[in-house]
Amino acid sequence: MGLSMNQHPSIHDEGELTTSQDVQVTALEAVTGTPYTLRAEWLVVGSVILAAAGQLLIKAALTHLVTASVPAGMLHTLLSPGILTGLFIYGLGTLVWVRAVSMESISYLYPLSALNYAIVALGGHLLFGEIIRPGRWLGIAVMTFGIYLLTRAVARERM
């Protein structure tokens, strides 16, 4: 339920946002005007963030192992705390992804997962000083805009 111009929102002790007409709405409902339910899209965003964080942590751990001149045996590398933590976080992202796919069609959700590329590229640049040429930034921007268009198209189909 949305707020009309003559309704004034207030927050009560219980943390619920209500209007002057005592109609309870969440803060998101007040902004969007629609009831809020956990949406698969938000789960995908969580999944993407967790996956990107896991991948960046794995890269950081590998970089540390190389600069610390640690013996590069495969088992030793895989069992290093940074790699294990990165894999754990990445695995959590996969579990969140599974939940999202159980709620919505994969043909709709999968393009959203491409946001992982944008986050990892940005993280690689900021955290590791990786050089990303303007053409790649443009490609990331086009991809992100394409994802926006896909989500808008589906939203219109559902109206």
152 versus 138: which is more confidently predicted? 138
Answer yes or no: do 22 and 53 share one domain.
Answer: no
Answer yes or no: do 92 and 19 share one domain.
Answer: no
For residue 65, count CB atoms less than 10 angstroms from its CB and return exposed for 0-12, middle for 13-18, buried for 19 or more.
Answer: middle
Residue span of the structural domain in which 58 resides: 40-158
Answer yes or no: do 55 and 88 share one domain.
Answer: yes
Position 23 pLDDT exceeds 50: no
Position 11 pLDDT exceeds 70: no
pTM (predicted TM-score): 0.68
Mean pLDDT calculated for residue range 92-115: 91
* Helices 134-158, 115-128: crossing angle, 10 deg rounding: 150
| Alpha-carbon gap, residue 36 to 154, rounded angstroms | 18
Position 154 pLDDT exceeds 90: no
pLDDT digits (tens, 9 = 90+) for 113-140: 889 999 999 999 999 999 999 999 999 9
Answer yes or no: do 153 and 77 share one domain.
Answer: yes
Q: What is the DSSP letter of 111?
A: G
Answer yes or no: do 65 and 7 share one domain.
Answer: no
Position 28 pLDDT exceeds 60: no
Q: Give the count of domains, the chain.
A: 2
| Helix and strand numbers, DSSP H then E, in the chain | 7, 3
Answer yes or no: do 124 and 146 share one domain.
Answer: yes
Rg over CA atoms, the chain = 21
Answer yes or no: do 28 and 74 share one domain.
Answer: no
Answer yes or no: do 148 and 104 share one domain.
Answer: yes
Answer yes or no: do 27 and 1 share one domain.
Answer: yes
Answer yes or no: do 20 and 44 share one domain.
Answer: no
SS3 11: strand
A 10 A CB-CB count for 147 gives 16
pLDDT digits (tens, 9 = 90+) for 41-76: 899 999 999 999 999 999 999 888 776 565 666 666
Answer yes or no: do 49 and 16 share one domain.
Answer: no
Answer yes or no: do 20 and 45 share one domain.
Answer: no
